[in-house]
Structure 1
Amino acid sequence: MVSSVLVDALSDPTRALLELYDANQDIDTFPARVAAHFGDIFASKDAFSEIPSLHIIDPTHNDRCLVSFRAMIQDTSPSPEMYLAKRSGGRCGGWGMADDGLEDGLNYSDLRENAVVWAVSVPAESSWVAAELGPGSHVSGLRPPVPESHPHKFPCAGQPHLGVQVKVYDRVDSLQSTDVVTMVGILTMEPMTAELESPNAVPVPTLHVLFSRPLPLTIAPRVFPYYPVVSTFPALRDELVSWIADEGLAGDKDAAEWVLLSIIAKVQSRTPALLPPSLTISRFPPPSAQSLAPSLSTVLSHLLPIVVTLPLSLDVLNNSSFAPESKNEDLHSGRLQIPRGSVCVVTEGGVTEGGVFDRGIMNLRALQEMMTGQTLEYIFPFSRFAFKTDVAFLILSEGKKSTFFQTNINVPLQPNIGELYKAAEKVKMPPAETLALFRDLVGGAKIGSVTIGETVAEYIQEDFVAERKAAPTPAEAVTSDDLIHRMMIARLFTLSMHQSEVSIDIWERVKTLEAARKTRLTAVGGTTK
């Protein structure tokens, strides 16, 4: 049986808001009561699915309807807005309700502050995410129902998206740049707060938030370890590695192993720094046609919620911005302003002979600093602020190593069979049930954590000492940095097996994997360090 409260909130959210206010007219606690009340109404998945998505609603013909919006917060720099929390006659204020009768004058004690931010469709969100989140969710890349008025605020230039002005009344400091959240609120068309005094101000979709839900790093919920099939995970993992290799890396399973470990990495700690290792797949030939994206990007987009492909070229480097930059008090997005948990595939094959100028050098530096320190500087007229990121990077390079970047791991590609570039529809897909398990494996590993027990720690220490003693020369001996690197890889390998503790067997497998990588590097004349 459908609740009448649910029906009323869906059909006339403004009236539901007014009725809630009339029950207790405390304007200081009202925003929190609104969030709790509407959050409770739509707490169940079935109830939430009844809310229409903003992606399919035309705000010019649906004034003050209830909508949901899964979005990335792009700009938190607009100044807060003052609103009249209590209108004339003691009526509820805020949430876009104008007061057209202030006969008794303005009572300044009834003014309150809300936060104003700009939010955009989740950049590079994979098409399967909406289906997995269930009814009421829609693909962020759908062409918006109204023309986009501020395209410079979206990281993926030229892609269909929706930009929305968002007004937050409860927990006004809760939203941070690149957060991915689902917001539910009342939709209006209003000029941007920052442009109210401009005679050329254009009304934009504006969402007055009733409540919001933060989304996890994986967007779609995942668990670690995944108990229903944990006993079969070794075979499932092998199948996943084979699929990545066959469809994305021309059959190179060793390279696919490193790709899997790279895409499940995340920031574990900033002090001390335990950051995602950046990976270069070297000896990766460029496409025959510049319009083709690597098949690896397509494969990863079927596994991960957000995969950004950044094809480097002289034009991209010299004529676009990788870091967000404020111009005339308006934050323009950069190509690297992407959500935490994203995977960024950077291709170097499009860079031809020519000059890299000041803008290009700044872009390369921003990308390197993001890989190395997981921060991205936002550029303002008189200052720069470093914002924390959590993005895994894969560099595809034609040479022995990356042309532009220092990465933690370099794996020369050794293709066997298959193509490295093909149309997305030509990628052979596993059965739907298997693909769902692949996503559970990858997503669960992304949020998991592992430990190293005392027995294994002692084994690793003794193994390290023995290996140093066995080295032919001091220059060839493993170093403490090598040990730290192996331990990081062992943790990732353990996560990929959906196990919670590093084992001696996994440690030995990691040593074998690392030895094979160094053999490849030696074969192509690259450094093994």
Structure 2
Amino acid sequence: MDSSPTAGLVRLFDAHADLDSFPAAVTAHFSHIFSNPDALQHISPLNAAHPPEAHNDRALVRFRAMVQDTSSSPEIYLAIRKGAQCGGWGLGEDDATLREEPINYAHLRECTVLWAVSVPGESSWCSAVLDAASNSQNYAPHRPPHPHKFPVPYASHIGVQIKIYDNPCAADSFKSTELHSFVGILTFEPLHADLELDTPGLVPTLHVLFSRPVPTTIVPRVYPDFPAKTIRDELIAWIAASSLAGDHDAAEWVLLSSIARVQSRTPPILPLTLTLSRFPSPADANSMPALSHVLSQIFPIVTTLPLSLNTLNTTSFAPEFKTEDLHSGWLQLPSGSVCLVTEGGVTEGGVSQRGLANLRAVQEMMNGQTLEYVFPYSRFTFNTDVTFVVLSEGKKSAFFHTNVHIPLKPAETATAFDFYKPADAITTPPQETLEMFRRLVGSAKVGAVSIGEGTAEFIQEDFVQERKGTASPSEALSSDDLIHRMMLARLLALSFQEKEITVPIWEKAKALEARRKTRIPQ
């Protein structure tokens, strides 16, 4: 293939007879050329280290991104230009003769227009793994043209207008918060919604040649990956020592809740949500808990939502359509995300109607794994798959009800522990160990476990006997307790890279739950 993607596109057009099938032929052609994952490494990435302005005009780039907005109407383009030349993919956009000549309406076609952004909360090590072959340089900080379309306010990111010409593919394949790797030709063009303005601004625009879905683990993982007990123990010990003052049980609960995902929507089998109470508040409201840095070292997508009165009352948690444009919100996150909610920054004061709506959006997302998008005359609910860990200074969360609550219990040796130390102050394991941690949690995120008939019968009988032995009605176990414990056993099996829930796993789940309950005042 030519070093210029445009030359390859034009040559393919000249050899293709059917105009209607040409976009699909482009997708098939370029997708085949880069079918080997190693071949993709030779395409320059579009990211913070390689911003749009660092690339030549019409450069071939790849953009690992989250689809943020699919509400734009299709764009009409001239598929054949003067002299039977190829149209679309940004070709001829600056050709003044197009405005002077009569238009052959038979040559008009539609392309789908989306807005996509850098993956919110993507850990830096993911880019180091997937973009390792690319040489980064020092560029001026990128100023995204529409920062309101990124979930985290004021965060550095890349925002790009995406144009997809293989429309049947686009109609079925791209939905809000999905992750895709877009490969195409980079230009700067007016925003589709601003075309009728006298002086529309230019935004980075990617004319897609082909795309591929990105797994929720960012870096592909398989399950089971390896015998995990030793690595699992080391991971829990590191989380505890680095961010939770040596509390191993709290670290284990954080690990288990973070690897959870939606198993079923009918019936609902949703991730366990966790509140870690008695967690000290920071001296500086802007400080990030060390737990956030630790989780970002091992999980691919981690977002910290720092609750404060200002955040609650002045920012949006749910996406909202304003002035013909979808503004993002804190909770517009891709599947597989871990969301760490910190309550330590909330001080005395009033919560506005917007703040109450924001709190309600978080709770509804925890309860049902759905998020409402607010439009002028309607609301639409979209499915989510995000795990939540809440850090609360009080006896329990001040705002949310979660499935699991465990008070922090620092180890006796952890005196004057700094829960808010910066990332560079955290002692990290050797790189080989870190990679094993990442493989463990990644494979657990995509894993599935079963339960044998014999184990199921044992669990049922064990639960019945436990109910009979309950000392008082207030301590009586319910069917919800059984469901909760089964979910916990499943997460334990996943964390051990086991294919089945076994009797020993069940016993571990009971013991972990019993230790948790002893910490909670009756």
Q: TM-score, normalised by structure 2?
A: 0.94
Partner of 2:455: 456
1:469 alignment partner AA: K
Amino acid at match of 2:229: P
Alignment of 1:21-420 (within 5 A): 21-55=13-47, 56=50, 58-59=52-53, 62-98=56-92, 101=97, 105-136=102-133, 146-170=142-166, 171-173=169-171, 174-226=173-225, 229-230=226-227, 233-416=228-411, 417=414, 418-420=417-419
Equivalent pairs, count: 509
1:62 CA displacement: 1.8
In 1, Cα distance between the equivalents of 2:39 and 2:468?
A: 65
Taking a change above 3 Å as real, the CA distance of residues 465 and 216 of structure 1, as seen in their structure-2 partners, is same
Distance 1:289 1:104 in 2: 64
Q: Distance in 1 between matches of 2:134 and 2:213?
A: 15
* Structure 2 SS opposite 1:386: strand
* TM-superposed deviation, 1:208: 0.2
Deviations 1:72-116 (A, max 9, x none): 111111111111222233322111112655687322222211110
Code of the residue aligned with 2:217 in structure 1: it is T
Note closer, same or farther for the CA distance 1:294–1:146 as it changes in structure 2 (3 Å cut).
Answer: closer
Q: Is the Cα contact below 8 Å between 1:366 and 1:376 reproduced in 2?
A: yes
How far apart, in 2, do the equivalents of 1:248 and 1:435 lie? 16
CA deviation string 1:464-514 (max 9, x = no partner): 111111112333221100000000000000000001100000000100000
Answer whether contact 2:244 2:251 (CA < 8 A) is retained: yes
Q: How far does residue 12 in structure 1 lie from its aligned partner after superposition? A: 1.2
Cα distance change, pair 29–59 in 1 and its aligned pair in 2 (3 A) = farther
Q: Which runs of 5+ in 1 are unaligned?
A: none
Deviation at 1:332, TM superposition (A): 0.7
1-side partners of 2:22 and 2:367: how far apart? 44
SS in 2 for 1:460: helix
Residues 60 and 304 of structure 1: is their aligned pair in 2 closer, same or farther, counting only changes over 3 Å?
closer
Q: Taking structure 1 as reference, are residues 144 and 495 closer, same or farther at Cα in structure 2, changes over 3 Å only? A: farther
AA in 2 matched with 1:94: G
In structure 1, the partner of 2:432 is: 433
Question: Given that residues 45 and 131 in structure 2 are in contact (C-alpha distance below 8 angstroms), is that contact kept between their aligned partners in structure 1?
Answer: no
Instruction: Give the percent of matched residue pairs that are identical in Structure 1 and Structure 2.
Output: 59
**Separation (CA, whole Å) in 1 of partners of 2:12 and 2:67:** 28
Structure 1: which 4+ aligned runs deviate by more than 4 Å? 57-61, 99-104, 136-139, 142-146
Going from structure 1 to structure 2, the CA distance change for 1:87 and 1:423 (only over 3 Å counts) comes to same
Q: Which letter does structure 1 place at the counterpart of 2:22? A: F
* Greater displacement, 282-291 / 210-219: 282-291
Q: Conserved in 1, the CA contact under 8 Å of 2:180 and 2:214?
A: yes
Which stretch has the larger CA shift, 243-252 or 28-37? 28-37
Question: How many Å apart are 1:25 and its aligned residue?
Answer: 2.5
User: For the structure 1 residues 254 and 60, does the alpha-carbon distance in structure 2 shift closer, same or farther, using more than 3 Å as the test?
Assistant: closer
TM-score by length of structure 1 reads 0.93
User: Offset of 1:63 from its aligned partner?
Assistant: 1.5
**Counterpart of 1:516 in structure 2: which amino acid?**
R
CA 383–323 in structure 1, closer or farther in 2 if over 3 Å, else same = same
Q: What is the alpha-carbon root mean square deviation over aligned residues?
A: 1.7
Q: Distance in 2 between matches of 1:91 and 1:358?
A: 56
1: CA distance between counterparts of 2:450 and 2:123? 32
Q: Which moved more, 1:88-97 or 1:341-350?
A: 88-97
**AA matched with 1:419:** D
Task: Tell me whether 101-110 or 198-207 shows the greater mean CA deviation.
Answer: 101-110
